[in-house]
């Protein structure tokens, strides 16, 4: 499983199509208790580096940035009633699945991401 | 929790007894009558009085105690403001009266507009917007109308720094713009290189708060203004933090083209229970033709053919504006300058007392507010900014702004304002220093606080995830 990251803490699975997208353990930890998720619709286009949804914690609302460009083919609607799943298992919980091309060179590999000084 | 007024209701009980009819009854047909009786509480006058008195004792305002809520400027509201706003000449008039019968009110609004122009370095003001975000929206519509009047339709983007108030991107979005976020530099100001990288002929405006939400005045403001103007964009000044610079330096002189003010912050009108506020918008000459319909110009309301239209009914929150004008007149120019001077002095005094105990996010001299990071405290004790704030409630202090700005972890944003005494600041500092020691020795104390408030620790996660949004009465 090849998991690549954006500096804004979203991940994408590069070696499985369609590509699952989620948020990192660091992101869920920094956000705190996630209470609400805004999701796109199946069929919506997404663009690498642009917003595709929001996560809301008790502290703040944060944008979800897409790590790749393409089309949304599946949306994890279970998150609408159980957003805490993102806190409990961030790497095992995909938010959307996207049909498209992962520009691997523009993303950060897992070892580098985990070693990064994050803010 | 106390009872709802409906839970105090007893069938047949009432506050006043009306005399018997002494005129003939009129029979209405069924189409004019309600099919069900209105759902009103049946209570006596003493029940109502005690109910609302009890509720008022559970509320907390700046009249109750220290309220260092960063970016909100919770200064004392002088009581003379309320006295002026209760004068019959102001409370007894109606907005549809002929203008020649309300010349005193016109004089006041004209005077307030002129004073606000003087304080900000703008050419004209509209008093219509009801509060800050409404002012932002108004300002952005003015910018839009300006670009459109020049057939400059490529401009679809507004730049907002990552330290901005959340209302900035929201207002830009409402005005039809897409938002470009730029990072802060290591000193907490605008990253000028990042700004240059996003400037183009697609930029409608840059929205800036100066000093920003970190309480820092951006020393590059003149260069930033030049860069934005060079590509044909305009500069929007978010007046949320004007209390730091009032009477010292003017947004108009920094290069801003449009500004909104929060009279309920800087000019000592009450924040109320969420309102009413007042968010006047000032503009440079190039934006004047687009001002909202219903803007007072030379003590009359002229037709404005290029106007963006009305932003609300009538003349804005008039009695709030009476309070702000009273404040300006009672302090005078020198008094306003002294107020901002003292606001900055108070913030720096408090920061100096606390900085050895809690890291300051962006060290250096601050303006009217400063931001502490409690990340180290959380890492070492498990006590979060939220927990510390809950414990403040037991000490009769309203907590500072938490978890904002977003670029600081476990942020506490503290704005004491000029109206607090050294004793109050020292009491707060002593409490905070004591909290640090207690967090190390007894972290659980904070996790269960508050202990003495009418409502104890609430489960904010449950409330957000499973909100109960209606109750049947």
Q: What is the pLDDT of residues A35-91, one digit of tens each?
A: 999 999 999 999 999 999 999 998 888 899 999 999 999 999 999 999 999 999 999
Nearest in space to B135 (alpha carbons), one of B278, B276, B272 = B278
State the pLDDT confidence band at B273, using cuts at 50, 70 and 90.
low
Note the pLDDT tens digit of each residue in B137-184.
999 999 999 999 999 999 999 999 999 999 999 999 999 999 999 999
Host H or E run for residue B172: helix B167-174
pLDDT band at A96 (very low <50, low <70, confident <90, very high): very high
Which residues 48-87 of chain A have a CB within 8 Å of chain B?
Answer: 56, 58-62, 83-84
Q: Give the closest-approach CA distance of B153 to chain A in angstroms.
A: 23
ipTM above 0.90, yes or no: no
Structural domains for chain B: 1-24+39-58 (no CATH), 79-327 (3.40.640.10), 343-456 (3.90.1150.10)
User: Residue B473 pLDDT > 80, yes or no?
Assistant: no
Residues of B in contact with A83 (CB under 8 A): 465
Beta strand residue intervals within A24-113, DSSP E: 34-38, 45-46, 51-57, 61-65, 69-75, 96-101, 108-109
Cα angle A18, A20, A25; round to 5: 170
- The side-by-side arrangement of strands in the sheet containing A108-109 is A45-46, A69-75, A96-101, A19-23, A10-13, A3-5, A108-109
pLDDT band with cut points at 50, 70 and 90 for residue B276: confident
- Residue A38 sits at the chain B interface (C-beta within 8 Å): no
Kindly state the helix (H) or strand (E) to which residue B167 belongs, with its residue range: helix B167-174
If you ran DSSP here, which 8-state letter would residue A47 be given? -
**Is residue B425 scored above 60 in pLDDT?**
yes
What is the pLDDT confidence band of residue B17, given thresholds at 50, 70 and 90?
confident
Query: Are the C-beta atoms of B182 and B164 separated by less than 8 Å?
Result: no
| Closest alpha carbon to A98 in A55, A69, A76, A78 | A69
Cβ-contact A40, A58 below 8 angstroms: no
DSSP codes of every residue in B416-464? --TTS-HHHHHHHHHHHHHHHHHHHH-HHHHHH--SSSSS----HHHHH
For residue B8, count other CB atoms closer than 10 A to its CB.
17
* Residues whose CB falls within 8 Å of the CB of residue B115, separated by 6 or more in sequence, listed in order: B325, B328
The whole-number pLDDT of residue B25 equals 87
Residue B274 has pLDDT above 60, yes or no: no
**Contact between residue B142 and residue B290 where contact means Cβ atoms under 8 Å apart:** yes
Q: Is the pLDDT of residue B73 over 80?
A: yes
Q: Give me the half-sphere count of Cα atoms (radius 13 Å) on the Cβ side of residue A104.
A: 9
Specify the DSSP class assigned to residue A86: H
Residue B39 has pLDDT above 90, yes or no: no
Share of chain A above pLDDT 90, in %: 89
Q: Which of B122-131, B268-277, B337-346 has the lowest mean pLDDT?
A: B268-277
Nearest to A118 by CA among A26, A10, A55, A50: A26
Each residue's pLDDT tens digit, B296-319: 999 999 999 999 999 999 989 999
Partners of B461 on chain A (C-beta within 8 Å) are 33, 35, 58
Of B403, B460, B465, the CB nearest to A60: B403
Predicted confidence band of residue B218 (pLDDT cuts 50, 70, 90): very high
Using the beta-carbon criterion (under 8 Å), do A30 and B409 form an inter-chain contact? yes
The rounded mean pLDDT for chain A is 94
User: Tokens 């020198």 map to which residue?
Assistant: B334
pLDDT at A119 over 70: no
By C-alpha distance, which of B113, B72, B418 is closest to B265? B72
- A30, A36, A62: residue with CB nearest B464: A36
User: Could A84 and B407 be called an inter-chain contact, meaning their C-beta atoms sit closer than 8 Å?
Assistant: no
Residue A58 with chain B: CB contacts under 8 Å: 460-461, 464
Determine whether the interchain pair B464/A30 forms a contact, defined as Cβ–Cβ distance below 8 Å.
no
* Tokens, residue B63: 């009249």
Q: State whether residue B181 is helix, strand or coil.
A: strand
Of B129, B249, B152, residue with least CA distance to B205: B152
Q: What domains does chain A contain, in order, with CATH numbers?
A: 3-115 (2.40.50.100)
Rg (CA), chain B: 25
Confidence category of residue B100, pLDDT binned at 50, 70, 90: very high
* SS3 of B53-72: HHHHHHCCCCCCCCCCECCC
Angle, vertex CA A115, rays to CA A114 and CA A117, nearest 5: 105
Q: CB B464 to CB A58 under 8 A?
A: yes
Cis geometry, peptide bond prior to residue B246 (ω within 30 degrees of 0): no
**Is residue B2 scored above 80 in pLDDT?**
no
Between A66 and B472, where is the model more confident? A66
pLDDT class for B466, splitting at 50, 70, 90? confident
Sort out which chain A residues have CB atoms less than 8 A from B409's CB and list them.
Answer: 30, 119
Nearest CA in chain B to A62: B406
Give the three-class secondary structure for B233: coil
Residues of chain A with Cβ-Cβ distance to B407 below 8 Å are 119
- What's phi and psi for B272, nearest 5 deg? 65, -170
What is the distance in angstroms between the Cα of A17 and the nearest Cα belonging to chain B?
Answer: 31
Give the lowest-confidence range in B2-11, B420-429, B441-450: B2-11
Closest-CA residue in chain B for A79? B465
Which chain B residues are closer than 8 Å to A36 by Cβ? 464-465
Mean pLDDT of all residues in B430-446: 97
Six-digit token string for B333: 């120019």
Higher-confidence residue of B25 and A13: namely A13
Question: CA B245, CA B368: separation in Å to the nearest integer?
Answer: 9
Which of B160, B458, B464, B467 is the best mutation test for A, with the most CBs of A within 10 A?
A: B464
Closest approach of B184 to chain A, Cα-based (Å) = 13
Cβ neighbours of B465 in A, within 8 Å: 35-36, 83-84
> Which pLDDT score, from 0 to 100, does residue B37 have?
86
Long-range contacts of A105-112 (CB under 8 A, 24+ apart): A106/A48, A107/A4, A107/A5, A107/A6, A107/A12, A107/A14, A107/A67, A108/A4, A108/A5, A108/A6, A108/A7, A109/A4, A109/A5, A110/A3, A110/A4, A110/A5
Per-residue pLDDT at A117: 79
Contact A58 B461 (CB under 8 A): yes
Shortest CA distance from A50: residue in chain B: B180
Q: What is the pLDDT of residue A41?
A: 97
Closest CB from A30, A35, A119 relative to B465? A35
Distance CA B328, CA B266 (A): 10
A33/B403 CB distance under 8 A: no
The token duo for B189 is 């100001």
pLDDT band at B465 (very low <50, low <70, confident <90, very high): confident
Other C-beta atoms closer than 10 Å to the C-beta of B126 total 29
How far apart (Å, rounded) are the C-alpha atoms in residues B207 and B204?
Answer: 10
Instruction: Give yes or no for a contact between A112 and A11, defined as CB atoms under 8 angstroms apart.
Output: no
Strands B203-208 and B157-161: parallel
């Amino acid at each position: 499983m090849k998991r690549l990251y954006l500096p804004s803490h979203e991940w994408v699975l590069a070696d499985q199509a369609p590509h699952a997208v989620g948020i990192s353990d660091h992101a869920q930890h920094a956000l705190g208790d996630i209470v609400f998720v805004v999701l796109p619709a199946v069929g919506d286009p997404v663009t690498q580096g642009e917003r595709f949804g929001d996560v809301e914690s008790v502290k703040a609302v944060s944008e979800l940035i897409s790590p790749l460009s393409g089309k949304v083919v599946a949306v994890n609607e279970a998150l609408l009633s159980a957003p805490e799943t993102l806190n409990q298992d961030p790497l095992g919980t995909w938010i959307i699945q996207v049909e498209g091309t992962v520009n691997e060179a523009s993303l950060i590999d897992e070892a580098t991401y985990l070693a990064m000084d994050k803010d | 929790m106390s009872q709802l007024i409906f839970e105090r209701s007893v069938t047949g009980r009432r506050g006043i007894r009306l005399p018997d009819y002494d005129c003939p009854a009129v029979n209405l047909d069924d189409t004019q009558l309600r099919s069900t009786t209105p759902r009103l509480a049946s209570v006596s006058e003493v029940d109502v009085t005690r109910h609302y008195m009890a509720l008022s004792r559970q509320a907390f305002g700046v009249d109750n105690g220290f309220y260092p809520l960063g970016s909100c400027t919770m200064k004392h509201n002088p009581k003379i403001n309320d006295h002026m706003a209760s004068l019959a000449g102001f409370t007894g008039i109606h907005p549809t009266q002929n203008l020649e019968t309300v010349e005193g009110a016109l004089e006041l609004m004209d005077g307030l507009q002129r004073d606000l122009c003087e304080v900000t370095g703008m050419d004209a003001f509209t008093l219509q917007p009801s509060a800050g975000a409404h002012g932002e929206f108004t300002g952005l519509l003015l910018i839009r109308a300006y670009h459109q009047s020049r057939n400059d339709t490529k401009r679809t983007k507004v730049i907002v720094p990552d330290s901005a108030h959340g209302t900035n991107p929201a207002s830009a979005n409402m005005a039809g713009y897409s938002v470009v976020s730029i990072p802060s530099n290591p000193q907490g100001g605008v990253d000028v290189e990042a700004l240059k990288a996003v400037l183009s002929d697609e930029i409608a405006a840059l929205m800036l708060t100066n000093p920003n939400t970190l309480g820092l005045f951006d020393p590059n403001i003149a260069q930033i203004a030049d860069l934005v103007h060079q590509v044909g964009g305009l500069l929007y000044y978010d007046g949320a933090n004007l209390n730091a610079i009032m009477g010292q330096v003017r947004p108009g002189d920094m290069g801003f083209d449009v500004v909104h003010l929060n009279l309920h912050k800087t000019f000592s009108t009450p924040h109320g229970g969420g309102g009413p506020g007042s968010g006047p918008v000032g503009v440079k000459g190039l934006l004047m033709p687009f001002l909202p319909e219903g803007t007072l110009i030379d003590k009359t309301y002229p037709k404005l053919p290029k106007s963006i239209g009305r932003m609300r009914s009538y003349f804005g929150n008039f009695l709030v504006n009476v309070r702000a004008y009273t404040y300006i007149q009672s302090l005078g120019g020198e008094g306003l300058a002294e107020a901002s001077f003292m606001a900055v002095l108070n913030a720096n005094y408090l920061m100096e007392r606390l900085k050895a105990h809690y890291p300051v996010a962006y060290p250096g001299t601050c303006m009217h507010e400063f931001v502490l990071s409690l990340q180290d405290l959380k890492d070492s004790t498990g006590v979060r900014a939220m927990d510390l704030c809950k414990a403040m409630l037991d000490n009769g202090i309203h907590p500072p702004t938490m978890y904002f700005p977003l670029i600081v972890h476990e942020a506490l944003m503290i704005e004491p304002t000029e109206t607090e005494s050294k004793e109050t600041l020292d009491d707060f500092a002593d409490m905070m220093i004591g909290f640090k020691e207690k967090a190390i020795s007894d972290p659980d104390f904070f996790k269960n606080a508050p202990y003495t408030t009418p409502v104890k620790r609430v489960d904010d996660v449950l409330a957000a995830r499973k909100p109960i949004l209606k109750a049947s009465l």
